[in-house]
A and B are shown apart, each in its own frame.
Chain A
Amino acid sequence: MIFSRVAWKLLPAAPAFVILTAWFVYWLVVRPPPSVIPSIADVVRTGAELAFGGRLLGDFIASMGRLLGGVAFGIATGMIMGFVAGVCRPVATFLNPLVVFFNAISGIVWLPLVIGWLGVGNALATFLIWNTVFFIIFQNTVLGIQLVPEVLEQGVRALGGGRWETIRTVTLPGALPYILSGVRSGLGFGWRALIAAELVGATTGLGQLIFSGSEYHRADIIIFGALLIGAIAMLMDRWLLAPIERRTVVRWGLVAASRGR
């Protein structure tokens, strides 16, 4: 009874345990060259060196700065454009084909072209993140506004509210859960776009850290970096975005449009 309950609690750790064990055994038995498969100890040591040497903090700050810049810019522009398109149908009709097309090439596909405009660095990475996030926020905002029940808007109108009054008190709050859920998945996609952008489009950042690992044949750096990238993504989602989304969505009894997948 107690044993099975403890086992149930520990079960989520099982995959990590299995992989670490397999890795450890493989390394003991086969002794592969560390440039291809390093030992667990090497990865831990490298992680500590990077962390205490200051390199990691610099890369982390560089990545986060770009992420925040690109995402903030994407949210602002996506919301404004999405709002206009959501309230005014002809605009939505006009923009729709363009959105479908540019969404299909959003993000990393722009790199070869934009690298010539902005050069390698912060501006390029920020642009690529903005380009990824924009469409997610835009589409969720339009959807959210279009799905606000008309009765609610009519209700405020019947009480004598003007157009702006209606938008402020009904349309925006009604669309907010969708927008927030867009922010959540947008940040996830932005993070992936950032790593891709940094592989070639930057000289600092976590993406560059792992890419330099491949140039110097340092698998330990790459593995440590990739695991860290996943951990940051998970922590951001769990501690920052899920609670925000949950709070508004649950309080208003609404269901989110899309899940961050």
Chain B
Amino acid sequence: MSRLRVLLPFGLLIAFWWAIKSGFDISDKLLVAPPQVWSSFRVLIGHGILAEYVSTSLSMIGIATLVSFAIGVPLGFAVGTNRYAARALEGFLRYLQGISGIAWLPLAILWFGFTHTTTLAIVIYTLIVPIIFNTMTGVRAIPENYILALQSLGASRLRIVTDVYFPGALPSIVVGTRLGMGYGWRALIASEMLVRQGGLGDLIFGARTFGQIDRIMVGMVIIGTLYIVVDRLLVQPVETMTLARWGVLRK
């Protein structure tokens, strides 16, 4: 039943797409029929081309997430536990959020050339700001009593970090990471389109230059599916788990 609920809308969409394609006799330069996309998918799979593009993109987002997490979380803690640092950086971080990672792409290209470094720099920039921001708000939302109570139990500063700050901010950190990965994935695709050093963005933008609409559409489906798979199967369960465990279903 629930499978039908998912498949039916897509089935109807594909039928509609096919009908438009053949009904209006649209050129292959603009839109291709579903079977052409399918055969293009099989060709790309068969030659291992798709696997290469996919692994490039996935490893880029993976590395960027790890780096942003490793730098962003401690930074968020530092900012969140110190009210002077919080006041100094909050406005600045908000301002940075207004400059999307992609707006720094031209500068990154000047600095690092058309390389993976450029793409990584852009994706990390995009990912790290929500992580810092959410870690900071998570830390600042922890009731002061938790900390005072632990001090009265004789806890050291390190102990308060491991027993209060970290678990207390964790749901917020997970939310921030999930948001960041969403933004980062899009920034990655955009950056790959311009840098042209592999990855799914390169795949679809490169196909454009040769007018291979079928490849573009395969790429789009893969980009969407991968995002949903990573988000729903990897990140969301972690989020639900921490939120439910903590009993702080804030949404």
Contacts and interface: CB of A to CB of B under 8 A. Distances in A.
Interface stretch (A54-62, A101-109, A154-162): A101-109
Given A219-B110, A222-B107, A104 B102 contact: no
Contacts of A110: 220
Contacts of A213: 106
A226 interface: yes
Contacts, number: 147
Nearest to A194: B100
Contacts of B90: 12
Interface stretch (B69-77, B155-163, B189-197, B237-245): B189-197
B91 A98 contact: no
Given A36-B110, A108-B186, A108-B189, A261 B204 contact: no
Interface in A199-232: 199-200, 207, 210-211, 213-214, 217, 219, 222-223, 225-227, 229-232
Contacts of A253: none
A104 B224 contact: yes
A225 B103 contact: yes
A105 B104 contact: no
Contacts of A237: 98
A50 interface: no
A104 to B, nearest CB: 4
Given A214-B106, A226-B107, A11 B87 contact: yes
Contacts of A100: 228
Contact of A199 (B30, B105, B207): B105
B131 to A, nearest CB: 12
Contacts of A219: 107, 110
Q: Which of B29, B89, B106 has the most CB of A within 10 A?
A: B106
B10 A97 contact: yes
A102 B225 CA distance: 10
Interface of A: 8, 11-12, 14-16, 35-36, 93-98, 100-102, 104-105, 107-113, 115-117, 188, 191-192, 195-196, 199-200, 207, 210-211, 213-214, 217, 219, 222-223, 225-227, 229-234, 237, 261
Interface of B: 5-6, 8-10, 13, 29-30, 84, 87-92, 94-100, 102-107, 109-111, 130, 133, 179, 186, 189-190, 193-194, 204-205, 207-208, 211, 213, 216-217, 219-220, 223-225, 227-228, 231
20 contacts: A12-B87, A15-B88, A15-B92, A36-B111, A94-B8, A95-B9, A101-B225, A107-B186, A108-B193, A109-B186, A112-B193, A113-B220, A116-B208, A116-B213, A199-B194, A214-B105, A214-B110, A223-B107, A230-B95, A233-B97
A113 B213 contact: yes
A214 B102 CA distance: 13
Contacts of A200: 193-194
B189 to A, nearest CB: 6
Contacts of A105: 220, 223-224, 227
Given A15-B88, A222-B107, A233-B98, A112 B186 contact: no
A195 B100 contact: yes
A209 B109 CA distance: 15
A192 B224 contact: no
A8 B6 CA distance: 55
A222 B220 contact: no
Contacts of A116: 29-30, 208, 211, 213
A101 B133 contact: no
A214 B107 CA distance: 7
Contacts of B94: 234
Contacts of B92: 12, 15-16
Contacts of A217: 110
Contact of B220 (A94, A109, A223): A109
A174 to B, nearest CB: 18
A162 B194 CA distance: 55
Contacts of A15: 88-89, 92
Contacts of B88: 11-12, 14-15
Contacts of A231: 95, 98
A88 to B, nearest CB: 15
Contacts of B130: 261
Given A12-B90, A116-B29, A109 B102 contact: no
B190 to A, nearest CB: 5
